Amino acid sequence: MTDSGRPLAGVRVVALEQYMSAPYCSLLLADAGAEVIKIERPGLGDPRRSIPPFVEKDGVRMGVGFMAYNRNKKSLALNLKSDEGRDLYRALVAKSDIVVENLRPGSVDRMGLGYEALSEVNPGLIYAAVSGFGRLPGREGPYGDWPSFDVVAEAMGGVMHMIGFADKPPSPSIYGMPDLYAGMAAAHGVTMALYRRTVTGRGQFVDSAMYDGVLSLNERMVSLAANTGARPRRGDPPGFYPRGPMPVSDGYVAFTIPDDIMWRRFCRMLGRPDLLDDPRLTSPDLRTEHRALLDEVARPVFAELTRDEAVRRLQEVGVPAGPVQTSEDLLECPQLEARGVRVTVDYEGLGELQFVRTPLLTSDAPDVPVNPAPTLGRDTRQILAEILELSAAEVSRLAAEAVIGTDQGQTATGSGAVRSDGAASSGSLRRA
């Protein structure tokens, strides 16, 4: 086996996934070098394939959201409603390291494909389940069988309660944030379980719940309520001021003044050292209480500055600050260019498209692969032939009987996933 130099080269992942949360988890693993085999329904695929917006050109069409979270993966179209389809799935899992799955709670168990059943055929299996409310046996809770989308997790996790204005309804945050965070937490759990397997030789169940993840991001609400009696509400200041966006001549800049150190620096930037002696402004709580006074002093100063000028002046006195950027700004940001955060992926028939890479870089392998998301069933024949060692005749029979789906218009190569067909030595993260 050729080592790609990426951290998870040689690790095989079976991704029984849809929408965003589990696909983001497996994307993180794929970007780290794992071979990710995405299981999809023949003829339909991941529902996100058909969710707009789309990129279309000369009769070729793909969903932008699907492309964003399914780079560097293979697609195996497999009918899990059939006995043979489930048998093929079990056989593939037996030769893999990890399963990542986010179907509705109970679905895989009803098919006989849950963690308990699969760990019997592969005791070293690491099984990551991403769900709305958690699936670890004994910790499911009263909501464990509820399905969830991002807005449900944000609502129940208190985030939505805090976004917006006091006299307006609650508002969601950015699209899909709970999904992506739950997927990231699941990938973190998977890598910990991989390391633990080198010690014990056994796999384990990794449980990532969107509700848990959102609450961990919003822990301040709970810690304040539990320990101080405070009841944070939408529109309330956070306990220090200024904080957040400040209008300037060409947009907004963002900064925060959380303590007296930053307050002294901020007064210097304003050219108002006299404010340091104002008894109404001598503590964060007082500055929050008298924020109207602060606005009266600060806003005229900032109104005369551009974003670049305001950021420069704040940073010169040691106050961290940045512009509130638009999508146009992000597409032109030199920092993102230097970091390689915007990646270009070449799609046949669609040309070069831009996406955002997963966030982590490592010194040994700083460049993330940029292979396009697969067409539905593109790699079915290759996977069945090379991993499960089925003959061409047998694969053709399975296709004719609708047990599998294949993409006859695509080659089986070029998915960018790293093959992992070598035996590993004792203590390795890879399969034995």
Average pLDDT over the chain reads: 91
Say if residue 195's pLDDT is above 80: yes
What residue ranges do the domains of the chain occupy?
12-217+340-405, 258-318
Phi/psi for 253 (5° steps) reads -125, 155
pLDDT of residue 348: 92
Q: What span, in angstroms and rounded, lies between the C-alpha atoms of 389 and 167?
A: 64
pLDDT of residue 3: 59
| 81-119: pLDDT as tens digits | 999 999 999 999 999 999 999 999 999 999 999 999 999
What does pTM read for this prediction? 0.90
Q: What span, in angstroms and rounded, lies between the C-alpha atoms of 272 and 136?
A: 57
Instruction: Indicate the Cα dihedral angle 258, 260, 262, 267, nearest 10°.
Output: 120
CB neighbourhood size of 411 (10 A): 11
Residue 259 annotated among the catalytic residues of the structure: no
Catalytic residue, from 31, 97, 150, 179: name it: 179
Q: Report how far apart, in Å, the C-alpha atoms of 203 and of each of 98, 145, 179, 224 are.
A: 9, 24, 24, 38
Residue 321 in 3-state DSSP?
A: strand
pLDDT of residue 2: 54
Q: What span, in angstroms and rounded, lies between the C-alpha atoms of 118 and 172?
A: 37
| 266-316: pLDDT as tens digits | 999 999 999 999 999 999 999 999 999 999 999 999 999 999 999 999 999
Asked whether the beta carbons of 193 and 126 are under 8 A apart, the reply is: yes
Once rounded to an integer, what is the mean pLDDT over residues 351-358? 94
Once rounded to an integer, what is the mean pLDDT over residues 191-196? 98
pLDDT of residue 427: 43
Phi-psi region of 4 (alpha: psi -120 to 50; beta: other; left: phi over 0): alpha
**What CATH class is the domain 12-217+340-405?**
alpha beta
pLDDT of residue 425: 29
